[in-house]
Structure 1
Amino acid sequence: MSRIPVPALLVTTALALTLGACSGGSGGKGGAGDSAQEAPPVRISVNLTGTRAAPGTPVVVRAAEGQRLEQVTVTDSRGGNLAGKVAADGASWTSERPAAPGTAYSVEARVADGGSATASFGTAAADKVNKLTLAPGKNTTVGIGQPLSIVFDHPVRNKAAVERQLKVTTSNGTVGSWGWMQDWSGKDRIDWRPKEYWKSGTKVTLAADLNGIDSGSGGWFVRDYTTMFTVGRSQVVKVDLDSHRLRLLRDGQEVADVPMSAGTPGGEKASWRGKTVLMAKEGTINMRSETVGLGDAYDKMVDYSMRLTWSGMYAHAAPWNAAYFGSANKSSGCIGMSDANAKAVYDQVQVGDPFEITGSDAKGTQALNNGYGEWNLSWDEWRSRSALR
């Protein structure tokens, strides 16, 4: 990974502000007035200097010997401030966050006697920028199984440094943890999952304070990100592959129980079992078998499509399979229902609702990254995927 060179020498930026006022009064017969009193000049030094200073390190402002810092303000070219703290002895101030790439900064420092000094510097631009995609979307309402999920455009080698900047707050102190994985797309991904399903009504905010963080070989982050969402109705969809039934529970009470036919057992057409999460309600879509490695088995327009995995497992209307609803699994991997029943389920489920799929007629448990498969891990297994454990 290429790094921006750190200046070989620390250049001290010192600006003096002369404080004082003329002292009034008349002299004796010689007419000599009192000498004007001057405060000592305020001098500061900043660890970053010039216009191409290395980003990614905190800003440190120091006072000259014998002077005590009282307040320091570091402002970037967009008007934002770097928060920081003055040391107990008043000799220095350190920013809480690092300087970001490609940014000009102004420094103003005030000392205990009221004097002040200013300085300025700029950081070198990033040679490579990393970006990310957040889910769920801002101001959405989701089901109780929805994790926070971040997919990065470029690889993240400095996983611990990145994870430290991801701050989740909830309205009720929900316990959860981040976990790293490789997304189905092959990109680095980190999800935040509660220990248990969310409580209905929980409000969640993510502050990804990444501006100025080096992700490693994938480049620098040059902005912060935020998202917030609310947890909606408490719903769980239970799919039993062996009894060929789909049940929708709301607050623990059954509100729907419909016959269905899932994937044909014994091969690639079988369905996945495990706890998955409704990723999207896609409505009417074209499903083609070659996109999931099943040759030319089908090419259909499918109604009430509810995506469960990246690999192409859905719950949807499948009127062509009506002879098997409630009696046999004869689909190409999806959970099929009648038009009426699929519509009833589609209208009531929320993105983020967990689908708990059980039964022996399966080809295995859904993979962690095939959609949202983290609920198939124990709490300890999930926490072990954090870079900070």
Structure 2
Amino acid sequence: MTPPDNGTAPAKHPKITKRRTLAAAAAVLIGGSVAVTACSTGGGGHADSKAAASSAPTTQAPTPSQTPSALSQASQDAAAAKHTSAAKITITPKSGATGAKVSGAVKVSVSGGTLTSVTMKSKATGHTVAGKLSADKKSWTPSKALAHSTQYSIAAAAADTQGRPAAATATFATAAAKPSTFVGYFTPEDGSTVGVGMPVSVNFDHAISKADRAAVQRGVTVTSSSGQQVVGHWFSAKRLDLRPQSYWVAGSHVTLDLNLRGVKGAPGVYGVQHKTVGFDVGRSQVSTVDTKSHMMTVVRDGQVVRTIPISAGGEGHTTYDGQLVIEEKDQTTRMNGATVGFTDDDGKGEYDIPDVPHAMRLSNSGTFIHGNYWGDPSVFGHANTSHGCIGIEDVKGGKDPSTDAAWFFDNSLVGDVVTVVNSPDKVIQPSNGLNGWNMTWSQWLAGSAL
């Protein structure tokens, strides 16, 4: 990555990975990027909600006389547990961290198995960072100091004694060379095509003081070929999101100008960036998930193009209500209940599914809409059985393009909107992911420093 004082901004902001109060760590499987999340049978639960007591796990298949509502969450978890690897990978720093030290801070370790591969790269340049694997293959560290003000990604794979794979990923940023500068990591990426719900989100590597937020916000401008007014909202001292009053106009082009060089962000701290990037807004697609009817209606450019049976969050693990924006897509994802507090008496996750197909993240805290191959087909369109995510019928490996899950994945863009209605849960927090649309326009304007 080119140093910030040469005017180059990182291409993406680091991921925020809290599932309300607990982390949802990212991970990867060989052949596809993955994220360890809060989901099972369709789901990702809420970490601040007490999990309802589960019946004893069973792997007995449901008989034809059983109704979908009789399929217990415990039995679904037991089915998923067959695929669990004993190898557990830990990556330090945690995904989403900023300000990491350039020396001695990065380590990949594994328990219950051995590391089979570790790849660390600069997000901006794609250059691979050389590293050292310990003799026992239990840990890996970089061979030399990292660059300052640089965003890195790590993808690690391991196997337990039975050869069952495990994987993990993390994205983090190193500290600036001097505490006197700040940079902003932005999304979406330059040159990308996104859905109509995609806001511009900028995460700063140094807290911006309240007294200086107006000056910094004036240095971050977003304009659209549609002529829509775009206003910024400060979710925290390090995060500024910008969006219009309503969704972007389909087919418009949006430009982000970062004119922060020399702009004061805090006492003695000044910006170093001067950069212009742009992205295109694709067709309009908004999908509505009705948790009572267990159906999702996909509307593209005002026309219904598909109606898909789903299974949402079950009792005690309900799905968030509100407008949720797809913020990332992964062909394959790992979902581990332990990352959000869904554990058995032994401390292990109630479920740990290493190969969840067609996964699209809807919140930073672990809500996904994804394919489900382990749940009984009878639940889709009839019952809510997940830990909070939205599940769509799929096959193991996700290689069948005729499934509803494959169709929805292939026909979705990052930035598309999935609106959840009739859920007994509360509306998702606007700062949890890219979900600022759950604020009224007056609430959004109140968060502007201008």
Q: Judge same fold: TM > 0.5, yes or no.
A: yes
Greater RCO, 1 or 2 (C-alpha within 8 Å, sep 6+): 2
Shift of residue 127, structure 1, vs aligned partner? 4.9
In the other structure, the counterpart of 1:143 is 195
Q: Which residue of the other structure, out of 290, 293, 304, is the alignment partner of 2:338?
A: 290
- Indicate yes or no: 2:343 matched with 1:281: no
> Which residue identity is paired with 1:342?
A
In the other structure, the counterpart of 2:409 is 346
Q: Aligned with 1:154: secondary structure? A: coil
Q: Which residue of the other structure, out of 240, 259, 270, is the alignment partner of 1:190?
A: 240
> Which residue identity is paired with 2:318?
A
Shift of residue 360, structure 1, vs aligned partner? 3.2
> Which residue identity is paired with 2:390?
I
In the other structure, the counterpart of 1:72 is none
In the other structure, the counterpart of 1:329 is 384
**CA distance in 1 between partners of 2:222 and 2:318 (Å):** 37
- Indicate yes or no: 2:423 matched with 1:360: yes
Q: Are the equivalent residues in 2 in contact too, given 1:179–1:382 (CA < 8 A)?
A: yes
**CA distance in 1 between partners of 2:366 and 2:440 (Å):** 25
**CA distance in 2 between partners of 1:193 and 1:171 (Å):** 14
- Cα displacement string for residues 194-224 of structure 1 (whole angstroms, at most 9, x for unaligned residues): 1111111111111110000110058221221
**CA distance in 2 between partners of 1:240 and 1:278 (Å):** 17
> Where does structure 2 lack aligned partners over 5 or more consecutive residues?
1-176, 344-348, 395-402
In the other structure, the counterpart of 1:62 is none
> Which residue identity is paired with 2:191?
N
Q: Which residue of the other structure, out of 232, 245, 256, is the alignment partner of 2:306?
A: 256
- The 3 A distance-change label for structure 1 pair 147 and 218 is farther
Q: Which residue of the other structure, out of 231, 253, 257, is the alignment partner of 1:203?
A: 253
> Which residue identity is paired with 1:239?
V
Q: Which residue of the other structure, out of 273, 277, 285, is the alignment partner of 1:227?
A: 277
**CA distance in 2 between partners of 1:293 and 1:270 (Å):** 15
Q: Aligned with 1:201: secondary structure? A: coil
Q: Aligned with 2:283: secondary structure? A: coil
- Within 5 Å, give how 1:42-57 maps onto structure 2: none
Q: Aligned with 1:271: secondary structure? A: coil
Shift of residue 153, structure 1, vs aligned partner? 0.8
In the other structure, the counterpart of 1:165 is 219
- The 3 A distance-change label for structure 1 pair 262 and 325 is same
**CA distance in 2 between partners of 1:147 and 1:191 (Å):** 7
In the other structure, the counterpart of 1:12 is none
**CA distance in 2 between partners of 1:164 and 1:338 (Å):** 47
- Indicate yes or no: 2:179 matched with 1:132: no
Q: Are the equivalent residues in 1 in contact too, given 2:319–2:423 (CA < 8 A)?
A: no
- Indicate yes or no: 2:359 matched with 1:305: yes
> Which residue identity is paired with 1:201?
G
Q: Are the equivalent residues in 1 in contact too, given 2:293–2:382 (CA < 8 A)?
A: yes
> Which residue identity is paired with 2:429?
A
Q: Are the equivalent residues in 2 in contact too, given 1:126–1:219 (CA < 8 A)?
A: no
- The 3 A distance-change label for structure 1 pair 126 and 214 is farther
Percent of counterpart pairs with the same letter?
Answer: 39
- Indicate yes or no: 2:320 matched with 1:272: yes
In the other structure, the counterpart of 1:215 is 265
Task: Give the TM-score taking structure 1 as reference length.
Answer: 0.64
**CA distance in 2 between partners of 1:146 and 1:218 (Å):** 33
**CA distance in 2 between partners of 1:292 and 1:126 (Å):** 35
- Cα displacement string for residues 317-363 of structure 1 (whole angstroms, at most 9, x for unaligned residues): 112222311111110111001111110100101100011110133x2
**CA distance in 2 between partners of 1:174 and 1:282 (Å):** 31
- The 3 A distance-change label for structure 1 pair 165 and 244 is same
Paired positions, count = 257
**CA distance in 2 between partners of 1:297 and 1:383 (Å):** 42
Q: Considering only aligned residues, what root-mean-square deviation do their CA atoms show, in Å?
A: 1.5
**CA distance in 2 between partners of 1:146 and 1:348 (Å):** 16
Q: Are the equivalent residues in 2 in contact too, given 1:156–1:217 (CA < 8 A)?
A: no
> Where does structure 1 lack aligned partners over 5 or more consecutive residues?
1-124
In the other structure, the counterpart of 1:109 is none
Shift of residue 233, structure 1, vs aligned partner? 0.8
Q: Aligned with 2:265: secondary structure? A: coil
**CA distance in 2 between partners of 1:316 and 1:128 (Å):** 43
In the other structure, the counterpart of 1:247 is 297
Q: Are the equivalent residues in 1 in contact too, given 2:204–2:238 (CA < 8 A)?
A: yes
Q: Aligned with 2:181: secondary structure? A: coil
Q: Which residue of the other structure, out of 141, 153, 159, is the alignment partner of 2:205?
A: 153
In the other structure, the counterpart of 1:381 is 443
In the other structure, the counterpart of 2:23 is none
- Structure label with greater radius of gyration: 1
**CA distance in 1 between partners of 2:336 and 2:304 (Å):** 34
- Cα displacement string for residues 142-185 of structure 1 (whole angstroms, at most 9, x for unaligned residues): 00000011011110011111011122221121122110003xxx
- Cα displacement string for residues 112-134 of structure 1 (whole angstroms, at most 9, x for unaligned residues): xxxxxxxxxxxxx9652211111
